[in-house]
Structure 1
């Protein structure tokens, strides 16, 4: 079992350097094997001499196959270790920050010495202490899991017991022919980078549902895969294959159910609740898909970078990118809240995402084209309880489930860029229940994955201390509109975390959205009237200072006052 003392020397930067060296070796070995294969095929003469030459080349190739497989396993195991170490480093840093905040000391064994007067141990301070205890425990747990998971992989290699079936005649010589579901985004990025373009293309065409949502590959490939899922496969002549699109499949299912309903009606038989629920679920799924299709057709700049239909009855989960996520200097991911669904929210979330890009370019001074934004509707957001009698918005469960998906998505962006030796400035901008989702995601994010993090209209931060987040506290921000945004802090501190605007050490952005087109200044208006005003485009000649400040954060230009 790992100890707190063990992880004090863990350094993810050293792991990255090792990854790069091993991957270079893998690429070189693949090239040599391919050259030898060509050489063997060029020996066309017959007779004893040529036969011996072919046999010798085969023996050499078999040995190289084995060495290449071992190198590939080293590369993937090191990538998996990178993911673990990155998370441990972030947790370790969080623990130090929270300890400093409450005046505690963490001993070499991981024990917390908190020798302050009892009168200073307020409820908030005690909650921070509890969070510190959990953070240390999490760091040790992750480190132990790394030892238990990655350790045996290295041992098998050291003992000469590693074996992989893929050889030079497999679809991807020396590499796994398909992504393993257990791989982390870091492993996926290494494997994907080692594949050739033709190998990647074949995988996308073979299983677009999988590769359209695989964290760790490039977003262009994800979009290509999701296009095949949404709009249908393409034949050799470049034409769509009828009946293969998710939209068509859903339409056909819906027509079938509607036929059953009509038959029951004509026969005077009451509609069963099951059939009625299925009908509604199919209508909602089709509306979700059509909303995505409509927006993608109307704007060639958009890319569908996530598409999960989920179980029937759930919302379609999706993410649409504006701009080039794979190459943009700045990437912001907008995470919306309650009632989010593709059918009712795609247009709105894309408008807000565009406004974020515009604010980054104007208020933040980012170069035009250097900012990409993602409207991330990739989790099952809670519905309006007044419309559905579903009380899930009052609980953190959907946020915690969504946090895992958001974490993987953001880590995938970072790992692919890192794999290519490219920096990216990532800023999730979270809103309402989506800010709770974002907060939970940041609690377990790896070091350096997210550069800036923004809460807006938040019911709760998911933490008791800003230090618990895996983001530099100096780059964690909150915007809070003072009029008609009653969502702020409405969640219970015990389950939703504290109101982010109350967190000590957080950066405060402007809450002045009075110049936003749609801002409601009527003191008697609904108490939620300005809940989304953070993202309203400014009226001509006026300013939405909240949006402008968020834009400065996205552009990496915002400084603490």
Structure 2
């Protein structure tokens, strides 16, 4: 069997498969309704007799045939959504090949061969590396194509079969999300469920829905709000039990030199549980503050708990709190903080910073408030000396990027206009944001804003997968010594202040001093989103696509 060629895949589009998945979903819903209507009609037949019984038997037979059809439509719908997601990944990989070619003075021929651009003499090593990337794209595309063919073949030949009926929970579909599903598959599955089926999952299995990429953010908020008090109660009980086991005064908890070796493990677990409890309570307070305000001022935008991870894989709870309607807003911006941020101490201020950006964005664009939503995302930020490592940025970039892809998939599947999407990062958070922009799939992210940045998370702006926008930077000239510091470690990327293609935003030059004071070298590092600063105004303009004023 001949493999796919570059000319076969370079123009692949997921739009056709998206429309087919939606047609299959609508057809499935129609057949399900038909089966339900037939059941109702049959239940209303009051007469009896041989003729009536024969008619009922015939109707039951037709309903069984409808069940088979629903199961096949369900499988085709999910197979198509899987293929659609695969094509999306192929599109992104092709884009990255083109980016690499442009950066290294190469070009890709229509047959997939690689050569230097006319008049250029590219490196042989770069040529080999790009050829390898092209080969990987073709191999991956072939796997996507073959997998889709096999699933369709199974339905067409009768090899696929499901025992489910229209009376089953989520007929023809899995009752629960599958671990291997992509955000696109989740979005299609979630839309195909009835409102009652969705609410049942949220009420009885909120842990499955709260962080599930591809589910709308309103449903995620609902699930996480169910989980939050449960987690707080569990943490309180755990802390109480560990303290009883430990049997020491609170002042002794963290003094490992005073703890018998047999109790060091208990002490470590107690530390983690106390941090977890403090983080969860701070999240609750941040939400309750908004809920209380909305009681007296109903038009206050709602905060949503759209992500919450308190697993032990990280030192602190990770959380994302939205303001506004992320599922429908025309402009959505996610804001990332820098080092030494933890929910117990900082989530309230971080949310307020994001809300300040939102308010200024609305004001600068002169648009209605429902058109803008923000997400204050607190990832596992490095603490103290951990900041010299880029691993926290790399890890968070995958979590945040996947969530933004899920938001995109959910909106697209539900026929909601694509949001203008921006990502804002301060300090270490700017490196994290840069890494998100580098790995995120095509068509999701528009604008990247870095401020007080130690490193851009990339070596070249052409590595960023930005759709309709560009990268921006704001860097205060005096008393912000963090700028560019991470570039001593190549994994932080280059200094965005000097990267070609990065647009410079206002940087509060009116506050600059003409002389250096060593003990004040970090004093202004955190002023970028302060009220009254030109940096806040320009950063906010990016969020709503208002022309920026730029550096002075």
Quote how far apart the aligned CAs of 1:513 are: 6.5
Q: Deviations over 1:96-148 (max 9, x none)?
A: 34534543211234343225889x87xxx999989866764664454244235
Contact 1:2 1:147 in 2 (8 A): no
- After superposition, the Cα gap between the structure-2 partners of 1:312 and 1:466, relative to the gap in structure 1 and judged at 3 Å, is closer
1:95 paired with 2:97, answer yes
Quote how far apart the aligned CAs of 1:297 are: 0.6
Tell me the SS of whatever aligns to 1:314.
Answer: coil
**CA distance in structure 2 between the aligned counterparts of 1:520 and 1:85, rounded to whole angstroms:** 54
Contact 1:69 1:174 in 2 (8 A): yes
- After superposition, the Cα gap between the structure-2 partners of 1:115 and 1:323, relative to the gap in structure 1 and judged at 3 Å, is closer
Quote how far apart the aligned CAs of 1:515 are: 6.4
1:420 paired with 2:414, answer yes
1:457 paired with 2:427, answer no
Tell me the SS of whatever aligns to 2:473.
Answer: strand
RMSD (Å) for aligned C-alpha atoms: 3.1
Contact 2:455 2:487 in 1 (8 A): yes
Stretch of structure 1 that moved more, 101-110 or 181-190? 101-110
**CA distance in structure 1 between the aligned counterparts of 2:125 and 2:283, rounded to whole angstroms:** 43
**CA distance in structure 1 between the aligned counterparts of 2:489 and 2:100, rounded to whole angstroms:** 17
Q: Deviations over 1:20-62 (max 9, x none)?
A: 3222212222221221222233334444333322322222122
Q: Deviations over 1:411-431 (max 9, x none)?
A: 111111112222211111122
Stretch of structure 1 that moved more, 403-412 or 96-105? 96-105
The residue number in structure 1 matching 2:500 is: 504
- After superposition, the Cα gap between the structure-2 partners of 1:219 and 1:472, relative to the gap in structure 1 and judged at 3 Å, is closer
- After superposition, the Cα gap between the structure-2 partners of 1:16 and 1:115, relative to the gap in structure 1 and judged at 3 Å, is closer
Quote how far apart the aligned CAs of 1:525 are: 4.0
Count of matched residue pairs? 529
Contact 2:457 2:493 in 1 (8 A): yes
- After superposition, the Cα gap between the structure-2 partners of 1:560 and 1:111, relative to the gap in structure 1 and judged at 3 Å, is farther
Tell me the SS of whatever aligns to 1:372.
Answer: strand
Tell me the SS of whatever aligns to 2:304.
Answer: strand
Q: Deviations over 1:123-175 (max 9, x none)?
A: xx999989866764664454244235444323322333222343212112333
Quote how far apart the aligned CAs of 1:559 are: 6.3
**CA distance in structure 2 between the aligned counterparts of 1:336 and 1:167, rounded to whole angstroms:** 50
Contact 2:538 2:548 in 1 (8 A): no
**CA distance in structure 2 between the aligned counterparts of 1:102 and 1:312, rounded to whole angstroms:** 39
**CA distance in structure 2 between the aligned counterparts of 1:128 and 1:457, rounded to whole angstroms:** 33
Tell me the SS of whatever aligns to 1:93.
Answer: helix
**CA distance in structure 1 between the aligned counterparts of 2:74 and 2:106, rounded to whole angstroms:** 44
Q: Deviations over 1:471-501 (max 9, x none)?
A: 1374222222222333333234632222233
The residue number in structure 2 matching 1:327 is: 328
Which of structures 1 and 2 has the larger relative contact order (alpha carbons within 8 angstroms, sep 6+)?
1
**CA distance in structure 2 between the aligned counterparts of 1:287 and 1:18, rounded to whole angstroms:** 48
Quote how far apart the aligned CAs of 1:223 are: 0.9
Quote how far apart the aligned CAs of 1:63 are: 1.5
Contact 1:335 1:375 in 2 (8 A): yes
1:168 paired with 2:163, answer no
1:394 paired with 2:388, answer yes
- After superposition, the Cα gap between the structure-2 partners of 1:449 and 1:65, relative to the gap in structure 1 and judged at 3 Å, is same
1:553 paired with 2:538, answer no
Quote how far apart the aligned CAs of 1:248 are: 1.0
**CA distance in structure 2 between the aligned counterparts of 1:319 and 1:42, rounded to whole angstroms:** 51
**CA distance in structure 2 between the aligned counterparts of 1:340 and 1:138, rounded to whole angstroms:** 39
**CA distance in structure 2 between the aligned counterparts of 1:128 and 1:485, rounded to whole angstroms:** 37
Q: Deviations over 1:418-461 (max 9, x none)?
A: 12222211111122222232222223322221222222223322
- After superposition, the Cα gap between the structure-2 partners of 1:383 and 1:46, relative to the gap in structure 1 and judged at 3 Å, is farther
- After superposition, the Cα gap between the structure-2 partners of 1:495 and 1:317, relative to the gap in structure 1 and judged at 3 Å, is same
Tell me the SS of whatever aligns to 1:491.
Answer: helix
Contact 1:223 1:303 in 2 (8 A): yes
Picking from 475, 488, 503, the partner of 1:480 is: 475
Spell out the pairing of 1:267-286 with structure 2 (5 A cutoff).
Answer: 270=260, 272-286=263-277
Picking from 239, 246, 258, the partner of 2:231 is: 246
Q: Deviations over 1:230-259 (max 9, x none)?
A: 12xxxxxxxxxxxxx111110011011111
Tell me the SS of whatever aligns to 1:375.
Answer: strand
Tell me the SS of whatever aligns to 1:450.
Answer: coil
**CA distance in structure 1 between the aligned counterparts of 2:139 and 2:549, rounded to whole angstroms:** 35
Query: Could you tell me the TM-score, scaled by structure 2's length?
Result: 0.87
The residue number in structure 2 matching 1:371 is: 372
Quote how far apart the aligned CAs of 1:398 are: 2.5
Query: Could you tell me the TM-score, scaled by structure 1's length?
Result: 0.86
- After superposition, the Cα gap between the structure-2 partners of 1:76 and 1:458, relative to the gap in structure 1 and judged at 3 Å, is farther
The residue number in structure 2 matching 1:73 is: 75
Unmatched 5+ residue regions in structure 2?
Answer: 253-257, 292-301
Contact 2:75 2:172 in 1 (8 A): no
- After superposition, the Cα gap between the structure-2 partners of 1:219 and 1:511, relative to the gap in structure 1 and judged at 3 Å, is same
The residue number in structure 2 matching 1:43 is: 45
